[in-house]
Amino acid sequence: MVLQEMATPRPTYLLKRGQYDQPDKTVVLTPGIPSSFDFGGTSPTNRLELARWLVDPNHPLTARVTVNRYWQHFFGTGLVKTSENFGTQGLRPSHARLLDWLAVEFVQTGWDVKQLHRLIVTSATYRQSSRVTPKLLAVDPENKLLARGPRFRLSAQAIRDQALATSGLLVEQLGGVSVRPYMPPGIWRSISNNKYKQDVGAKLYRRSLYTYWRRTLPPPTMTTFNAADREVCIVRKDRTTTPLQALTMMNNVTFVEAARFIAERMIREGGESIDERLAWGYTITTGRRPTIDELQPLQSAYTFFLENYQRDSAAAKKLLSVGAAKRDILLKLSEHAAMTMVANTLLNLNRSLTLE
């Protein structure tokens, strides 16, 4: 009902001291916008006119706010750091002329979001190295000068989706109803009589965008990695680094199961030798080939886990039974379990969790 304008709007009066039950019927109010926002056009009188006013090319705010949020998506911090507040309580832009130019470019290209994304990610600023010298770190710890490329931890949704994609489990179907992937048992019952019914099959591996979200009880994995709880609208949230995040990556069903399937890929597709498989696994999880110094700890870890699981086949079976998807029984038990632990380690690396 709220989306439909009434044919004859009811009269609205000034409220004395803001009291809803004390209208001053001598003062009739009409729809409008603050005079400080008026850029010379006709003042909006209904929702449709307001929408057109918001995206008018002469409007000074909409394009800047939108561009700033996309910049924040790619760089971790917006040109206006307080992306939720462009008012007097917000911070001034670090590069005001750049923000203005991007906003104008966005409008003149027909509000083309893909074009804006392409413009940002192909820029020299975005493509430069994220390496930082001690001197530059001391002068510009927050990279306000844009003297280096962005470096920040991926979002909660991207971390889960990346693990599923690397393992080959990710279901890339677009659209459809929300799904209910793995969730700690009894978590809904702790605050209500509702019971969480976990989905089965392909629904467990849909993108995080489709995860069912209960506002009063969001998915714990998401909140661990600083996802907004959605009780209020939030466009910016600080990123933290806590031990609980590492424990989640090492023990959560989603990530252990993903590691198991990454291990299967490493054994099947990585090559004949152990070193080739380890290097291939490092490449698909981090995006680059490992150095000799980076490969050596993986070799030691694999040897350690292999010897352990050769002695304890029950522990290997328990590890490889985590998750709903069945393992490839043609793979040798101890080798598969050892490679799973290595894959789990790879998913925990900073290079796997960080955009840089």
Q: Please report whether residue 257 resides in a domain.
A: yes
84 and 173, same domain (yes or no): no
145 lies in some domain: no
Please provide the size of the chain in residues: 356
Q: 3-class SS at 214? A: strand
Show the CA angle centred on residue 209, arms to residues 65 and 170, nearest 5°.
Answer: 135
Instruction: Return the closest-CA partner of residue 126 out of 82, 67, 76, 69.
Output: 76
Q: What are the contacts of 64-70 at 24+ separation with CB within 8 A? A: 64/99, 64/100, 64/103, 66/103, 66/106, 67/99, 67/102, 67/103, 67/106, 67/116, 68/93, 68/99, 69/235, 70/113, 70/116, 70/117, 70/120
Domain match, 67 and 50 both: no
User: Is 135 part of any domain?
Assistant: no
Q: Give the pLDDT of the chain (356 residues) as one tens digit per residue.
A: 556 666 677 889 999 988 999 999 999 988 777 877 776 667 777 778 888 888 988 888 999 999 999 999 999 999 999 999 888 888 999 999 999 999 999 999 999 999 999 999 999 999 999 999 999 999 999 999 999 999 999 999 999 999 999 999 999 999 999 999 998 888 887 777 788 889 999 999 999 999 998 877 888 888 889 888 777 788 888 888 899 999 999 999 999 999 999 999 999 999 899 999 999 999 999 998 999 999 999 999 999 999 999 999 999 999 999 999 999 899 999 999 999 999 999 999 999 999 88
User: Do residues 73 and 42 both lie within one domain?
Assistant: no
Would you tell me how many other CB atoms lie within 10 Å of the CB of residue 274? Answer: 20
Neighbours of 8 (CB within 10 A): 5
- The answer to whether residue 245 is domain-embedded is no
Q: Is residue 328 part of a domain?
A: yes
> pTM (2 decimals)?
0.83
Residues 291 and 340 in one domain: yes
Q: What is the DSSP letter of 7?
A: S
DSSP-derived letter for residue 258 is H
How many Å apart are CA 197 and CA 200, to the nearest integer?
Answer: 10
**Whether residues 163 and 218 fall in one domain:** yes
End-to-end alpha carbon distance in the chain: 47
Q: Do residues 179 and 274 share a domain? A: no
Determine how many CB atoms are found less than 10 A away from the CB of residue 56.
13
Same domain, 322 and 350: yes
110 domain-assigned: yes
- Claim to verify: residue 316 and residue 350 sit in the same structural domain: yes
Same domain membership, residue 255 and residue 351: yes
* Residue 121, domain member (yes or no): yes
**Residue 339 placed within a domain:** yes
Q: What is the pLDDT at residue 148?
A: 92
Cα–Cα distance measured from residue 327 to residue 57, given in angstroms and rounded to the nearest whole number: 56
Task: Sort 84 into a burial class: Cβ within 10 Å, 0-12 / 13-18 / 19+.
Answer: middle
**Residues facing residue 354 across a β-bridge:** 153
Output the six-digit token pair for 71.
């910049």
**Within this chain, do residues 295 and 347 fall inside the same structural domain, yes or no?**
yes
Structure tokens at 337: 């379990």
Which domain, by its residues, includes 31?
12-54
CA neighbours closer than 13 Å in the CB half-sphere of residue 289 = 5
Asked if 270 and 350 sit in the same domain, the reply is yes
Residues 269, 183 share a domain? no
Domains identified in the chain, total number? 4
Tell me which amino acid residue 281 is: G
Which stretch of DSSP H or E encloses residue 178? none
Residue 341's pLDDT is what?
96
